[in-house]
Structure 1
């Protein structure tokens, strides 16, 4: 795949790669990597990075590694590793034999750190983490040298070996790069590169009481793997100088270079792993795979397709300027995909019983219905028609306003692929609620057309009276405001959308849907696109998740409120 539409020309990363190939840099090699930290599930923003890194490698005949930057044992877990692999494969990408872990390189990284010490470019600092932060200053406060900065090479080597041996407690010592405490960029003010952390690692167990920090491990892992173009998001732009300093001092020959692109920001959601974790651990959602979550696993369970997410990644493009992408674009991508591929079916969300008084009792006929009106090759199905049936409660009004073309007393409508029916009588319960309609049907209008040429404006979907009951989950945006985490004075959970999930347990569906295979997709006519939930569906008892409405109803409803 490419990362932009052909009509848009090359993005800046493609231009860089093509210039490198023109000049013979790396002898024409293109080697990228997708380097997630296994401390949470991937979200839609990671999907953009996956598509970009694997896509560029595909486009230029190169390779892309999957590497887990697992340098923080406190937050990492094997479950996250397995989930990330599933997500990447589901999106349609393959790393072949190139799955790596930063922890694979712990011995090499340790040796690199020793090499820096021997060069006089790293030292063991005995300030506490809080003191280190204070001494480093910020953009307005200059840095101050640590009192331990001038330790001898021999003392630093001894202390670092003892750190490795586990002699010291967490935070007692830190290995720092010796760069420039007077630098205007705080990143270069002797950044920590190794810390003591007595914690069990998901792969190395208790073998290491010290761990390299991300800035040190990441660039050297790139170099070890022969990465050519190290692509990351813009928040790492100011750290590129540190990336370059470490590589320049420790790597000879071909070396990787870091390039930054704009991260994906999507409205009506949060993209921080920490905030996503809070939603999960505090029970605001049902898990990482909750279909309201913008995690890849959540989108998958909601019914999004890999093709729709790859299309979305292409459409948002790659650049340097930060941008806020409207959720409606993601929804458009899945609508366009499912409009082509999803067979049609009929389901009634909130059933209202209809009795056709002039239809023969005990009779059932099978009506042929198209599976896709624009794709005859998808065939037809048979739907039973009988005296009793169900329509949507919203498709009837006892006292309709002007312009209401659905069913009302004395009005005639068309039932999809069936007959014209006319409402003759309204039955109510003791509370005055409409519970049943008595109607007549015109047997001459089989198939939905009148031989006398009369027209009706309303066409309703329906299901037969023996339609099975099914659970339908109507998912919507998790948050009710565009930027739920923009106001630091308020907890972002304050803006959760109370109607982001509506569960309908008495919906009625076409009889053939009772055996719908898990992970199959349908367009429920006039309602939306639905997906058979792979987790909660049981044989004969499917659960349908709404992937997306047929139209962008959210934008329309929001406009009404303004």
Structure 2
């Protein structure tokens, strides 16, 4: 009997809360700001929040933290919804912080009425200076002593649009000498005369994240508000607002965010890569965005498995991207259709093959017998990889060479008889003979060969472009590398093979199909494909080539 997996620390908290009767059921939320596309770090948070609700019989809301009209767009909202669905999750309710603007305004008024908030005319530079330092207490300014009546009027005037951006802010009145800098009269509202993607120009004041977050959680009766570790210093303010407003006591819990080798996880840096044309867009297959990984051919199942394997921790660490690639390989090996594609062709002429053509049987996926077989055309002229032939071969070379035999995958054994060269001495084609009795599945030749090559029939081959994607950065820990992060971009992160030759079955398969190009790696068809030319993206190599390079170094 298999041992039951132990609970992580958040699951232990939830389990105890449910057993004690603190909650009848749990409610979690995934609260992205719609100011960019989601990345693999968000996938960890999505899997955690939705996974907890599924495990403990609760529900998860998708709530957009849309409190900054300057950076947010509807395009990002739609991409986030697509990503969550693609990962395999469905939210209970689709909500927006902007749904609560009126309610949040009312909460702010309530704090003013309690003498716990005030309008401050200081500039952002003055406020920063007045806050002091971690070792020096802050200074209370003259605006802190404004009357409740004056603050109510000024806040109403802020809402009415009587002031310019930055002219006034609303601050909580807490403790200017608190050891926690976030508790030194934090900002609750700022003025922004900008059109919001949902509310238009109805508002010109917007709540700060620290004010909107906890109160939105409370409005939705979120039982377990799960954030990353950088929000630990924000938790006292989260609790303070809820306590002073006397609303539903949501509680915040923190876990370690995902940091991964050879990758950046900052939306700001990802946006920079897009805007400065280092990549083709948010869904460039080299990006750490979920849409980029989807376009590259990663599967939702592999990403969920990766998130499960790395677990939920209380301490930051750097996860090897090789683990993600391993999960992708493991899943694709089970589901990918096998196909033959030649990248750098060398023509093979089978001189004793007299038929016009024949269609051979080849398995779609040996890992999945239910996937069946496909028909592969065979003819007198074939393409093999140029690297699979050597005119002067060393010992233990099991590919094609003069006088040497190899098996063609799902076809026949052939023997190289002659090498044809052009006037400059370049090999243009090789002439071989085949052994008719050696047909795969029906072999009666009694000949054993050690090498098996993939191939494509010349007259049946379809033209394809193949994009070989590699890691976007050359250094492991991009975040802590010296200089600008863009200095470490891998110039060889994309190699394009514009004229590869593929077996015709690839033209008949569905657009979402995953492939293993035999002996080459895993691939998916790209959206840039046309009726005249298919384009394929390399998802991942057959083996971890980076691990080999690291050992050499």
- Please give the TM-score of this superposition, normalised by the length of structure 1: 0.95
Counterpart residue number, 2:291: 297
Secondary structure of residue in 2 paired with 1:73: coil
The equivalences for 1:297-376 within 5 A come to 297-360=291-354, 363-376=356-369
- Gaps of at least 5 residues in structure 1 are none
CA contact (8 A) 1:444 1:450 kept: yes
| Partner Cα separation in structure 1 for residue 282 and residue 422 of structure 2 | 43
Secondary structure of residue in 1 paired with 2:128: helix
CA contact (8 A) 2:463 2:534 kept: no
| Comparing 344-353 and 207-216, the one that deviates more | 344-353
- Please give the TM-score of this superposition, normalised by the length of structure 2: 0.97
Q: CA deviation at 1:306?
A: 1.2
| Partner Cα separation in structure 2 for residue 157 and residue 431 of structure 1 | 89
CA contact (8 A) 2:412 2:440 kept: yes
Counterpart residue number, 1:50: 46
The 3 A distance-change label for structure 1 pair 203 and 544 is same
Q: CA deviation at 1:452?
A: 4.6
| Comparing 424-433 and 286-295, the one that deviates more | 424-433
Q: CA deviation at 1:76?
A: 0.3
Counterpart residue number, 1:383: 376
| Partner Cα separation in structure 2 for residue 161 and residue 195 of structure 1 | 13
CA contact (8 A) 1:518 1:537 kept: no
> Any idea what the Cα deviations from partners look like across 1:133-189, whole Å, max 9, x if unmatched?
111123233211123111111111111111111111111111111111101111101
| Partner Cα separation in structure 1 for residue 424 and residue 214 of structure 2 | 71
| Partner Cα separation in structure 1 for residue 423 and residue 61 of structure 2 | 68
The equivalences for 1:81-480 within 5 A come to 81-96=77-92, 98-252=93-247, 254-360=248-354, 363-447=356-440, 451-466=444-459, 467-480=461-474
Q: CA deviation at 1:540?
A: 5.2
| Partner Cα separation in structure 1 for residue 332 and residue 4 of structure 2 | 24
CA contact (8 A) 1:472 1:507 kept: yes
Q: CA deviation at 1:52?
A: 0.6
CA contact (8 A) 1:519 1:531 kept: yes
CA contact (8 A) 1:369 1:417 kept: yes
CA contact (8 A) 1:304 1:334 kept: yes
- Gaps of at least 5 residues in structure 2 are none
The 3 A distance-change label for structure 1 pair 256 and 440 is same
- Say which of 509, 533, 537 aligns to 2:529: 537
Counterpart residue number, 1:559: 551
| Comparing 523-532 and 34-43, the one that deviates more | 523-532
CA contact (8 A) 2:341 2:455 kept: yes
CA contact (8 A) 2:438 2:445 kept: no
| Partner Cα separation in structure 2 for residue 300 and residue 287 of structure 1 | 13
CA contact (8 A) 2:335 2:368 kept: no
The 3 A distance-change label for structure 1 pair 425 and 147 is farther
> Any idea what the Cα deviations from partners look like across 1:236-256, whole Å, max 9, x if unmatched?
11111111111111133x411
| Comparing 135-144 and 167-176, the one that deviates more | 135-144
Counterpart residue number, 1:73: 69
Q: CA deviation at 1:453?
A: 2.9
**Deviation >6 Å, runs of 4+:** none
